[in-house]
C-alpha cells in the first residue's frame, strides 16, 4: 500500500469525508508532507471503491456544488489495520537496529 | 466560495473532458467542487501544475482497467485483435491513395496492340503486400515485331526501361523419334508509368516441323502498382491505433460493467428487503456478459490470425525481389467464409455482451419504510 493510499484510508477512518476534506486531512496527517492533487485523489478513490475498501457515504449539495462523501468499508478498515501492523513491525525493527547509534536520539 | 468566475468554471469543466465520458458523468460534479475548493484555498485559481496533473490523470483514467485477471486478459486480447484489424485497415487505406492499375479494357487493348493478337484473357490479382496487379495473356497466329511492341507501349504512355531480345531453341516432340528443335524469336521488357510497373513478354515461332507451328505467337503483360512510401508506415500506424482502441474500449466497457453492478449494489443497500433479489439480478448479467465476451474473443481469433499473417507479409515484403508476387501463409488455408462467419459471430456476441453489461432493468425503488 502506497503512502497516499494509506493516508486516504486513515483520513476516512476518522470520519466520512468529501474530496477536499480528504485532501486537507491527508495534508494535516502527514504534517504537510503529502499534498494530494485532485487527479491523484480521484484516481485513488476510484481504485479503492473498485476494491471495495471505500464506498459512497452520502451526497450533499451546498450552494449548487455537489459534495460526495466517502466512508471506509469494513474491508477497508481491515486492509488499513493490516498495513498498520506491517508498518509498526517494520518501524520496530528499524528502531531496534538504530539502538546501535545512540547519538541519533530516536524518539521512544 | 464566490471567488470563482464563470470563465474559470467553464475552464475547469473543459479540463474534465480529459476523463472518459462515463466516469465524468459519475464524478465530474464532485471533482469540480473539489477544484473550486482548492481554487478558493489558493488565489482563486488552480496552479498550472494542478491543471496539467488533472488532465494527465483524466487521460490515465481512460486506460485504467480493473485489476482482475479476466478483465486484463480481455483487454490484452482486444488490444492484439483490434491491432491486427487496424493494420489491415491501415494497409487498405494506404493502397487507396496509390495509383490504380489500368482497367481490364485498357490492359486488354494494350496487350492486343503490343502482341498483334486479339482478345487476351485478363486476371486481376494482389501482391503479397495487397497491392493491385493485373495480368493479360494471349496466344494466336501472329508475327514477331519488336517495334510494334515499343510503339504500343509508348503510345499508351509507358516509358520502356529494359528491352531484351533473344532467339530461343524450342524442343518439339521431346523424347519421340520426331524430336527436333525449332527457333523462336522472343522479347522480354519492362516499363514504368506514374506509380506503375509493367513486365511483359512476347514470342513467335520462326518455322517449325509443322506448317501451323510457324507464326505461333504468345504475349503477356503484368502490371502492378509500385509500393509507395505510405504503405508500411500506415500499416504500422493502423496496428498501433487499433491496439490503442482495443485497450481503451475494454477499459470503457469494463468501467460501465463495474458501475452498473455498483448501482445495483447501492440500490440493494437502500432497499434491504429486496437486496438478495438485487444481487442475483446484478451478477447474472455480469456472468452473461463475461461469457459473451469470451465467445467474442474466441471468434475473433480466426480473423485476427489472418490479419497478423497479412501484417507479417506486408512487413517482410521486398519490392526489389525478382519474385514479388507470391507469399503463402497459413491464412491462405482459411477459407474466406470462415473468416466472415467468425467476424460476424464476434461482432454479434460482443454487442450482446456490452448490452448485457450496461443495460440493467432499473429496480423499482419504492421505499417501504416511508
**pLDDT band at A16; cut points 50, 70, 90:** very high
Any domain includes A29: yes
Any domain includes A68: yes
pLDDT of A106 reads 52
Could you tell me the CATH number of the domain that includes residue A26? 1.10.10.10
Contacts of A26 in chain B (CB under 8 A): none
Residue pLDDT, tens place only, B279-336: 445 567 777 877 888 888 888 888 888 889 889 888 888 877 655 555 566 666 778 8
Q: What residue numbers bound the domain in which A18 lies?
A: 3-98
pLDDT, chain A, mean: 90
Residue pLDDT, tens place only, B113-163: 998 888 889 999 888 888 899 999 999 988 999 999 999 999 999 999 999
The DSSP letter of residue B178 is: T
Q: Which of B38, B60, B64 sits opposite A38 (nearest CB)?
A: B38
Residue pLDDT, tens place only, B155-188: 999 999 999 999 988 888 778 887 888 889 999 9
Contacts of B1 in chain A (CB under 8 A): 63
Contacts of A38 in chain B (CB under 8 A): 31, 34-35, 38, 50, 53-54, 57
Residue pLDDT, tens place only, B49-86: 888 999 999 999 999 988 778 788 888 988 999 999 99
Contacts of A63 in chain B (CB under 8 A): 1
pLDDT of B62 reads 93
- Counts for chain B of helices (H) and strands (E), in that order: 9, 6
**Domain total of chain A:** 1
Q: Which of B33, B49, B262 sits opposite A66 (nearest CB)?
A: B33
List, in sequence order, the alpha helices (H) in chain A: 3-14, 19-29, 38-50, 74-98
The answer to whether B4 contacts chain A (CB < 8 Å) is: no
More confident: B153 or B359: B153
pLDDT of B271 reads 43
Any domain includes A15: yes
The ipTM (two decimal places) reads 0.85
8 Å CB contact between B350 and B292:
yes
Any domain includes A14: yes
Q: Which of A19, A40, A47 sits opposite B30 (nearest CB)?
A: A19
To the nearest whole Å, the CA of B30 is away from the closest chain A CA by 5
- Most A CBs within 10 A among B57, B58, B71, B261, hence the mutation to make, goes to B57
Give the residue on B whose Cα is nearest the Cα of A57: B266
**pLDDT band at A44; cut points 50, 70, 90:** very high
The domain segmentation of chain B, as residue ranges, is 6-64, 76-92+230-358, 104-225
User: B182 phi and psi, to 5 degrees?
Assistant: -120, 145
Instruction: Kindly determine whether residue A19 and residue B23, on different chains, have CB atoms separated by under 8 Å.
Output: no
Residue pLDDT, tens place only, B5-41: 777 788 888 999 999 998 999 899 999 999 888 888 7
Burial class of B106 by CB neighbour count within 10 A (0 to 12, 13 to 18, 19+): middle
Give the residue on A whose Cα is nearest the Cα of B34: A20
- Most A CBs within 10 A among B17, B19, B31, B55, hence the mutation to make, goes to B31
Contacts of B56 in chain A (CB under 8 A): 39
User: B205 phi and psi, to 5 degrees?
Assistant: -70, 135
Contacts of B32 in chain A (CB under 8 A): 65-66
- Report CA-CA distances (Å) from B248 to A86, B135, B243, B299, B340: 36, 44, 9, 20, 25
H or E element that contains B56: helix B48-63
Burial class of A16 by CB neighbour count within 10 A (0 to 12, 13 to 18, 19+): middle
To the nearest whole Å, the CA of B354 is away from the closest chain A CA by 19
pLDDT, chain B, mean: 83
pLDDT of A107 reads 54
C-alpha cell at B85: 484489424
The answer to whether B68 contacts chain A (CB < 8 Å) is: no
Residue pLDDT, tens place only, B202-259: 999 887 777 777 888 999 999 999 888 899 999 999 999 999 999 999 899 888 877 7
Amino acid at each position: 500500500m502506497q503512502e497516499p493510499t494509506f493516508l486516504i484510508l486513515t483520513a476516512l477512518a476518522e470520519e466520512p469525508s468529501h474530496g477536499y476534506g480528504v485532501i486537507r486531512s491527508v495534508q494535516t496527517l502527514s504534517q504537510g508532507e503529502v499534498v494530494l492533487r485532485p487527479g491523484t485523489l480521484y484516481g485513488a478513490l476510484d481504485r479503492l471503491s473498485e476494491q471495495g475498501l471505500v464506498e459512497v457515504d452520502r451526497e450533499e449539495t451546498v450552494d449548487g456544488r455537489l459534495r460526495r462523501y466517502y466512508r471506509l468499508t469494513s474491508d477497508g478498515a481491515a486492509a488499513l489495520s493490516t498495513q498498520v501492523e506491517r508498518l509498526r513491525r517494520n518501524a520496530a525493527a528499524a528502531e531496534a537496529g538504530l539502538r546501535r547509534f545512540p547519538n541519533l536520539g530516536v524518539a521512544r | 466560495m464566490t471567488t470563482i468566475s464563470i470563465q474559470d468554471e467553464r475552464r475547469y469543466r473543459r479540463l474534465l473532458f480529459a476523463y472518459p465520458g462515463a466516469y465524468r458523468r459519475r464524478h465530474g460534479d464532485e471533482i469540480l467542487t473539489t477544484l473550486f475548493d482548492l481554487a478558493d484555498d489558493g488565489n482563486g485559481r488552480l496552479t498550472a501544475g494542478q491543471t496539467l496533473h488533472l488532465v494527465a490523470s483524466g487521460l490515465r483514467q481512460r486506460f485504467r482497467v480493473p485489476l482482475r485477471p479476466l478483465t486484463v486478459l480481455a483487454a490484452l486480447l482486444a488490444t492484439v485483435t483490434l491491432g491486427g484489424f487496424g493494420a489491415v485497415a491501415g494497409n487498405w487505406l494506404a493502397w487507396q491513395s496509390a495509383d490504380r492499375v489500368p482497367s481490364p479494357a485498357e490492359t486488354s487493348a494494350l496487350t492486343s496492340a503490343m502482341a498483334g493478337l486479339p482478345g487476351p484473357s485478363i486476371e486481376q490479382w494482389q501482391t503479397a503486400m495487397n497491392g493491385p496487379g493485373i495480368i493479360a495473356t494471349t496466344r494466336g497466329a501472329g508475327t514477331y515485331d519488336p517495334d510494334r511492341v515499343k510503339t504500343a507501349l509508348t503510345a499508351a504512355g509507358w516509358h520502356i526501361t529494359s528491352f531484351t531480345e533473344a532467339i530461343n531453341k524450342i524442343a518439339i516432340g521431346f523424347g519421340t523419334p520426331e524430336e527436333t528443335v525449332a527457333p523462336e524469336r522472343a522479347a522480354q521488357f519492362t516499363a514504368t508509368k506514374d506509380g506503375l510497373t509493367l513486365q511483359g513478354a512476347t514470342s513467335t515461332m520462326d518455322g517449325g516441323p509443322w506448317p501451323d507451328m510457324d507464326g505461333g505467337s504468345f504475349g503477356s503483360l503484368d502490371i502492378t502498382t509500385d509500393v509507395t512510401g505510405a504503405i508500411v508506415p500506415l500499416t504500422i500506424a493502423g496496428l498501433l491505433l487499433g491496439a490503442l482502441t482495443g485497450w481503451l474500449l475494454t477499459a470503457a466497457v469494463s468501467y460501465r460493467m463495474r458501475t452498473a453492478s455498483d448501482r445495483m449494489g447501492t440500490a440493494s443497500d437502500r432497499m434491504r428487503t429486496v437486496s438478495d433479489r438485487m444481487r442475483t439480478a446484478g451478477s447474472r448479467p455480469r456472468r452473461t456478459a463475461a461469457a459473451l465476451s469470451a465467445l467474442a474473443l474466441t471468434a475473433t481469433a480466426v480473423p485476427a490470425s489472418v490479419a497478423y499473417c497479412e501484417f507479417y507479409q506486408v512487413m517482410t515484403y521486398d519490392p526489389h525481389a525478382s519474385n514479388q508476387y507470391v507469399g503463402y501463409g497459413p491464412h491462405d488455408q482459411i477459407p474466406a467464409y470462415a473468416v466472415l462467419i467468425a467476424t460476424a459471430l464476434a461482432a454479434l456476441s460482443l454487442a450482446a455482451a456490452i448490452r448485457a453489461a450496461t443495460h440493467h432493468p432499473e429496480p423499482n425503488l419504492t421505499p417501504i419504510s416511508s
